Chain A
Amino acid sequence: MPDESVTHWLGQLKAGDPAAAGPLWQRYFPKLVALARARLANYPRRAADEEDVALSAFDSFCRDATAGRLPRLEGRDDLWRVLLLITGQKAVDLVRRESAEKRGAGASPACDLASIAGSEPTPEFAALVADEFRRLLDKLPDADLKALAVWKLEGHSNEEVAARWGCVPRTVERRLKVIRSLWAGEVGRE
């Protein structure tokens, strides 16, 4: 029987093998997004905030995804992969801290990650995903980068974004690289 735990799934994502993660993605992702959406809806709204526009766009995407329209995982550079890996890392850190507080060395973090992330999406993991999404969006220095992050999470292609911006696809690829570099720098930071 294949290992269907989210720990295994994140491991496959981490190894850069989104295709292997496909079946679980189909099953896990809509539920995860539905839970994360509820969390996002509870954030206090900010006045005159371009981020709110991005988030409300994201909200309608979550509605579609919950109804079964999924973005494809595009490969190593996919922003969902990056977001989920960062969140997974954060969940591991949380578990590690909690078990260290309890009694020093505990069970292996990978096992405990499953208790947060679950083989079914748990509200805790979805809340972490939503929190990380919001926090990572805050790290992007301009509205264009924020919009790009949301569009990519919604599953738009680089060509579509290029047409929208009136630029060449290479520029979209480069700006995605900027996002990944800014987000990679955030790993392990509060």
Chain B
Amino acid sequence: MSDEFGDVWAPELALRVDAACRRFEARLAAGEHPREDDYLDGFDGAEREALRAELRAVQCQWLAPNETRDQPGPARASVAAPVPPRYRVEGVLGEGGMGVVYKARDTHLNRTVALKMIRDGRAGPSHLARFRAEAEAVAALPHRNVVQIFDTGEYEGKPYLVLEFVAGGTLAERLAHGPLPPPGAARLVETLVRAIHDAHERGIVHRDLKPANVLFAADGAPKVADFGLVKRLDAVAGHTLAGDVMGTPSYMPPEQARGDARDVGPTADVYALGAILYECLTGRPPFRAASVTETIRQVLHDDPIRPRLLRADVPNYLEAVCLKCLEKEPGHRYPTALALADDLQNYLCGRPRPTDRPTSAWRRLEADLYTKNQRSARGLEGSVFCV
């Protein structure tokens, strides 16, 4: 049957070739000169030649002069959304349902920035005001580990943000190559947690922490991106919970996956940071199913697989930290990001873990029932549970 679909690769080969080519093209897009041979590991014989031919073709097209662009690289993307004249688009860093993020040159200050243009024009004045207020709040959060906002404005009726350009890729890209060593994972997440704590202190909750929103600077410093703005951007475009900007629910706490915005506070970020730590240690997020619906079901109802079952070298200490962050009930997580940061620091300093509430499913059930009994005014509901 496959010949009816023309010249097709085996699916598994197609995905591997594509992944290698995309890594290669990302380096070209960053203005680097990647070597073909560095991308051929794990490919032999005809597969190796197929990949080599594909890499060459991609490189040729990048370097070839093109009538619609005067520089190598797809500056053509600038036709997709007009940008303020002060900025010269040099490439596309990412694209979502609401807009596009360009790598751009600020011609006044002669520096590279990330320019986030909102494509959707349905923003009402009150939305724009809130968008701006939040951008200002983040602008007031000068932290080495937070992607800085340089400017905000409107161009042709659409809001845009000018952000610090961070060159070293994302945590999601790093994790695609496998998990991190436990101490490195703990150190990285501790750094992120302290940055988030700083934001919480200023009343800002991120609400969309995930490996794709953790960037690395050229010096290796991790930086949290899309700070509290994703949710705001959603509101600007008149979207509710649904939409591709929300993306995966793999890092979302149950209260957020349920769509109850009122319950989404700082402990939602604690949950997401725990999910990031989990993925750094095991190479996969705590919940990920074939469909979004199934992932949400798991987030709401299933216990995560213990990290040590996935990788035996995960220390007990860090497993306990992950599971405490990933508690379904916000009140059972670390009460603050600071408490989580201190626990991670404790581990890094080699101190023993302070005694914690029980984490086994049965003990937790007992504890939950006890809490419910306490709350149950007449004791009727409680007596049923106590049987």
Q: Tell me the A residues contacting B by CB distance below 8 Å.
A: 14, 16, 45-53, 76-77, 82, 85, 89, 138, 141, 143, 162-171, 174-175, 177-178, 180-185, 187-188
Q: Which residue of B lies closest to A54 (CB)?
A: B244
Given known A-B contacts A163-B76, A163-B80, A180-B5, A51 and B25 have beta carbons under 8 A apart: no
Number of interface residues of B (CB under 8 A): 47
Stretch at the interface among B10-18, B278-286, B373-381: B10-18
Q: Which residues of A contact B57 (CB under 8 A)?
A: 170
The binding surface of chain A is classed by DSSP as helix
**Other-chain residue from B21, B91, B241, B249 in contact with A166 (beta carbon distance below 8 A):** B91
Asked whether, in the complex, the Cβ of A168 is within 8 Å of the Cβ of B246, the reply is no
* Chain B 8-52 residues near chain A, CB threshold 8 A: 8-11, 13-15, 17-18, 21-22, 25, 29
Asked whether, in the complex, the Cβ of B242 is within 8 Å of the Cβ of A82, the reply is no
The binding surface of chain B is classed by DSSP as helix
Instruction: State A164–B6 Cα separation when bound (angstroms).
Output: 26
A116, chain B: closest CB distance, angstroms: 19
Asked whether, in the complex, the Cβ of B296 is within 8 Å of the Cβ of A47, the reply is yes
Asked whether, in the complex, the Cβ of B5 is within 8 Å of the Cβ of A183, the reply is yes
**Other-chain residue from B9, B25, B246 in contact with A167 (beta carbon distance below 8 A):** B25
Asked whether, in the complex, the Cβ of B243 is within 8 Å of the Cβ of A48, the reply is yes
Q: Which residues of A contact B290 (CB under 8 A)?
A: 138
Which one of B5, B241, B246, B292 has the highest number of Cβ atoms from chain A below 10 Å of its Cβ? B5
A13, chain B: closest CB distance, angstroms: 9
Instruction: State A85–B6 Cα separation when bound (angstroms).
Output: 12
B313 at the interface (CB under 8 A from A): no
Q: Which residue of B lies closest to A186 (CB)?
A: B11
Asked whether, in the complex, the Cβ of A47 is within 8 Å of the Cβ of B8, the reply is no
Kindly supply a per-residue 1/0 record for chain B positions 296-313, scoring 1 wherever the CB is within 8 Å of any chain A CB and 0 otherwise. Answer: 100000000000000000
B247 at the interface (CB under 8 A from A): yes
B99 at the interface (CB under 8 A from A): no
**Other-chain residue from B6, B58, B296 in contact with A76 (beta carbon distance below 8 A):** B6
**Other-chain residue from B13, B14, B29, B244 in contact with A53 (beta carbon distance below 8 A):** B244
A95, chain B: closest CB distance, angstroms: 17
Asked whether, in the complex, the Cβ of B2 is within 8 Å of the Cβ of A184, the reply is yes
Instruction: State A56–B90 Cα separation when bound (angstroms).
Output: 31
Asked whether, in the complex, the Cβ of B95 is within 8 Å of the Cβ of A168, the reply is no
Asked whether, in the complex, the Cβ of A48 is within 8 Å of the Cβ of B241, the reply is yes
Asked whether, in the complex, the Cβ of B18 is within 8 Å of the Cβ of A175, the reply is yes
B139 at the interface (CB under 8 A from A): no
**Other-chain residue from A16, A85, A177 in contact with B8 (beta carbon distance below 8 A):** A177
Q: Which residues of A contact B7 (CB under 8 A)?
A: 177
Asked whether, in the complex, the Cβ of A48 is within 8 Å of the Cβ of B246, the reply is yes
Instruction: Beyond the given A46-B292, A178-B11, please list 10 additional residue pairs across the A-B interface where CB-CB is below 8 A.
Output: A48-B292, A48-B296, A50-B292, A76-B6, A138-B291, A164-B80, A166-B29, A168-B58, A170-B61, A181-B11
